[in-house]
Amino acid sequence: MQKQTNPWRVWVAELLIITLTFGTIAIKSYRVVTDHSRISLQGELSLDSVAQIELAMSTHKSAFNTLQFEDSPGSGAAATIILEKIEILINRHQLRTEAIGRCASACAAAFLLGTTRSLLPTTDGTPTFLMLHTIRNHKTREVNYGKTEAINKKISSKSLGKFPLKLLNRMFDDKQGTGDGEIYVYRSPQRTPQGQHHVFVCDGKPHRLISECEAVPGLTPQSLGINVAQ
């Protein structure tokens, strides 16, 4: 189901947030908007944006059945709390989830906890993809193995086992032994020297190209329990 734009679409909240990205300062904004049955959260996840979702759900309880994430890098501080709050909303209201563009870190985990999960195309031709990594301390970057494993089990359960724990736990497998790896799932196959693939596992080192990561042959979003909407 495509994202819709029409006069009913209401801008609920917008806030400028300063985040650090690859060592440079970037100004990000989040927006929470409503569109018929959908609540769309654009940009970085924060406690403020989650509060706006909670307000919209409590005000129009019967109106919404879908939570959509668009171009989200995840969250900075309080990522675990934010993820727990979104999970409660998803389970309480049986929310479907959708993603457009980048959906990384806490965004990817929240997306994968939806009752059904759909990757949508972007309007500008940029790829729609998920990026998963371990739960880390915001300041020390130390991996929280217990919470990560608990989230992985929930994600696998939501997919009815189609997103296997064996794959999810590969985010712990990096050459430095820090548990700082990443898993990418692309809506459309990405061309690499080894062929076209949807799923990649990266170690903890910086990568400029997805082809520098290990492709996992034979996997698609659909095989992992994720819908691919047109």
Is the pTM higher than 0.85? The answer reads: no
- pLDDT 10s digits, 156-195: 999 999 999 999 999 887 655 555 689 999 999 999 988 9
DSSP output for 163-210 = S-HHHHGGGG--TTSSS--EEEEEEEEEEETTEEEEEEEE-SS--SSG
- Please state, in angstroms and rounded to a whole number, the distance separating the CA atoms of residues 216 and 197: 7
- Of 168, 121, 162, 124, the closest CA to residue 149 belongs to 168
Report residue 74 as tokens. Answer: 């995840």
What is the DSSP pairing of strand 182-192 with strand 24-35?
unpaired
Q: Are strands 24-35 and 10-21 parallel, antiparallel or unpaired?
A: antiparallel
What kind of fold does domain 10-228 have according to CATH?
A: 2-enoyl-CoA Hydratase; Chain A, domain 1 (3.90.226)
Q: Give the pLDDT confidence of 52-91 residue by residue, as tens digits.
A: 888 888 887 667 899 999 999 998 778 889 999 999 999 9
